[in-house]
Amino acid sequence: KDLPSFKELPNYKNFSGCAWGVWGEGDELGTVNLLTKDVVLEATKEIRTGETVSLNWPINFPEKPLFTRRTPEITVISRRPDYPARDDEIHMNSQSGSQWDCLRHFGVLEHHVFYQNHHQDTIPLGPITTPDPLKVDPEKIKLGVHNWANHGICGRGVFLDLVKFFTKDGTVPLPYDPWTTHPISAADITAVANAQGVQFRQGDILILRVGHIQKYYASSQEEKDRISSTPEEFAGIEQSEEMKAFLWDNHFAAIASDQPAMESWPPKDMNFMHQTILGMWGMPLGEMFDCEKLSKVCAETGRYTFFFSSWPLNILGGCASPPNAAAYF
């Protein structure tokens, strides 16, 4: 499909680059539409050795979730405690660790709308009851993560290892602290892609290693506790029109990083990137993907592209999901 360029997309009020309607009025997949059968089939050619790498942090990591979210509770129970039979019960905020932000998670704040101009009042708070999944009113679950769970977020993964690039393979310190608002520019991303010999294709799933999880492991409990209490500051993609044009014009199907907000945080104004990526484009936005092993395997193999598979949890009307993501080489 020939997509409009960022400049060709209409504005929505004071927001540039509005992609509502690009995939039809009733669309709930957003840029996941770019993961067509042809794109997925082409991406499977990336599987050559059979080596696989998980990109999921354990679901109870980080131990103290950021942005005042609750720590997941995992309890082992048994209806027959005297026998080798166990269940577990898990209560968690789907935003507490490795996650895809979904289209219900964030809209355009000042205008109170989600992707495709759905007003926030049409997505009420409270329990979603599903006595019969086949009879759920689609209106009640619109923009839910189940849409991506039924399609899959699978295609060619492109990994850009900013940590390795900026530290010259670990020989110098990172020129930025991942726990500051340091902005990563489109020129930075392009420089890393060029150094790694990667050329982007429409429908790629872009994964950035900014250094958050590496720093997390290297930090004391005291330092970890500090970032789990406000105000949080994280290095990430820059909040700018240039960055929006870069992401849209490369026609990525999804973007993710090891960082807790993807974009440089906190926002410098009310026009920050979550709103465009999720609210204007319907693009999966991945946070806290564990890229540590991926970094090693890519360095060893010299390959920074692979088949990427992610099957979010099938939560009807869900706002986010652990990614359940893997790279296949």
> CB of 325: closest distance to ligand UVW in angstroms?
16
Point out the residue whose Cβ comes nearest to ligand UVW.
261
With beta carbons less than 8 A apart as the criterion, state whether 75 and 309 touch.
no
Residues in the chain: 329
Q: CA angle, 27 as apex, 25 and 33 as ends, to 5°?
A: 130
Nearer to ligand UVW by Cβ, of 265 and 328: the residue is: 265
Nearer to ligand UVW by Cβ, of 69 and 111: the residue is: 69
Nearer to ligand UVW by Cβ, of 111 and 201: the residue is: 111
> CB of 165: closest distance to ligand UVW in angstroms?
24
CA distance 54 to 324: 8
Nearer to ligand UVW by Cβ, of 161 and 263: the residue is: 263
With beta carbons less than 8 A apart as the criterion, state whether 205 and 309 touch.
no
> CB of 103: closest distance to ligand UVW in angstroms?
12
3-state secondary structure 8-68: CCCCECCECCCCCECCECCCCCHHHHHCCHHHHHHHHCCCCCCCEEECCCCCCCCCCCCCC
DSSP 150-217: HH---EEEEEEEHHHHHTTTTTS--SS-TTS--EEPHHHHHHHHHHHT----TT-EEEEE-SHHHHHH
Nearer to ligand UVW by Cβ, of 234 and 304: the residue is: 234
CA distance 283 to 318: 15
**What is the separation, in whole angstroms, between the first and last Cα of the chain?**
27
> CB of 234: closest distance to ligand UVW in angstroms?
8
> CB of 40: closest distance to ligand UVW in angstroms?
26
Which residues of this chain interact with ligand UVW, rule CB under 6 A? 67, 95, 101, 261, 265, 287
Nearer to ligand UVW by Cβ, of 162 and 320: the residue is: 320
> CB of 50: closest distance to ligand UVW in angstroms?
34
Which token pair is 106? Answer: 């964030």
> CB of 285: closest distance to ligand UVW in angstroms?
7
Give the number of other Cβ atoms within 10 Å of residue 31's Cβ. 25
Nearer to ligand UVW by Cβ, of 100 and 165: the residue is: 100
